[in-house]
């Protein structure tokens, strides 16, 4: 049974990836906006921002990566909504395949396409002056956190794709998520913010995730931020997955 599910998921992943490769503008769009933000903040605002570091590109990069992922997962909701509207789900369910493989094909595609976007942005960051003394294990930890963050938001996107009544509705969920890094430690230290804003910034998930990634890349102690970051991601992932599966069963019932 497990072998069949894995095989069916592989087929669905291949199908979804082919759609992405035929529409490379999605990856380009996902990477262009974060890169534009990075250029803007480094070369326009960077001189006026007191981040407590000499290399603002290195300080900024973790938040830019989260923005890219938040933007990228919206395409999962978009593709899922289009599949539902086209009737292809009904055709798949009439075939002898594992029903969960249809969703997992979209989810794994999100992981792959967002990983490509992250690599492109890191390469651009290197050209702009990003530097890291992190070792292999630290980079693997960063990759794991980004993958977990992507997986978490992707299951939120699945809920949006299954429950939306229009393409705009399917992608609209990502807007507040893209905004969260701007009210966090991603661009400036939280201690420079006014009281109420600072309280929100220090207690929302993006700050702990950004702080963890930044500490890993700079070979600094991660402290308790890593447990807060993992707690947020795993908690939201479990809830989102549960709601997504309920919504999926209702749509295919």
Q: What is the 3-state secondary structure (H, E, C) of 16-33?
A: HHHHHHHCCHHHHHHHHH
| Nearest CA among 159, 185, 187 for reference residue 172 | 159
DSSP letter (8 states) at residue 213: H
| Nearest CA among 8, 3, 122 for reference residue 65 | 122
pTM reported for the whole predicted model: 0.89
* Residue 114 CB neighbours (<10 A): 28
| Nearest CA among 114, 110, 99, 125 for reference residue 30 | 114
Residue 101 pLDDT > 70, yes or no?
Answer: yes
Most confident of 74-83, 86-95, 147-156: 147-156
From residue 110, give the alpha-carbon distance in Å to each of 22, 65, 66, 226, 240. 15, 14, 14, 24, 15
Average pLDDT for residues 223-247, to the nearest whole number? 92
Confirm if 146 and 157 have CB atoms less than 8 A apart.
Answer: no
Band of pLDDT at residue 46, cut at 50, 70 and 90: low
Band of pLDDT at residue 108, cut at 50, 70 and 90: confident
């Amino acid at each position: 049974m497990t072998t069949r599910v894995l095989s069916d998921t592989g087929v669905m992943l291949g199908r979804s990836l082919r759609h992405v490769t035929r529409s490379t503008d999605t990856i380009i769009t996902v990477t262009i906006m974060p890169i534009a933000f990075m250029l803007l903040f480094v070369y326009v605002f960077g001189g006026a921002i007191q981040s407590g570091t000499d290399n603002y590109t290195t300080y900024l990069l973790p938040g830019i990566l989260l923005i890219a992922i938040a933007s990228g997962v919206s395409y999962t909701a978009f593709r899922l909504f289009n599949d539902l509207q086209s009737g292809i789900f009904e055709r798949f369910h009439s075939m002898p395949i594992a029903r969960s493989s249809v969703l997992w094909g979209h989810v794994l595609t999100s992981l792959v396409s967002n990983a490509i976007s992250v690599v492109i942005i890191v390469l651009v960051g290197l050209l702009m002056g990003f530097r890291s003394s992190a070792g292999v294990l630290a980079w693997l930890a960063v990759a794991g956190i980004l993958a977990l963050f992507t997986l978490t938001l992707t299951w939120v996107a699945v809920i949006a794709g299954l429950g939306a009544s229009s393409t705009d509705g399917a992608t609209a969920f990502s807007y507040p998520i893209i905004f969260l890094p701007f009210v966090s430690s991603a661009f400036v230290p939280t201690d420079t913010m006014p009281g109420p804003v600072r309280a929100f910034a220090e207690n929302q998930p993006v700050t702990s995730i950004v702080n963890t990634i930044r500490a890993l890349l700079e070979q600094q102690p991660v402290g308790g931020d890593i447990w807060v970051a993992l707690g947020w991601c795993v908690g939201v992932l479990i809830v989102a997955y549960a709601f997504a599966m309920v919504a999926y069963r209702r749509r295919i019932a």
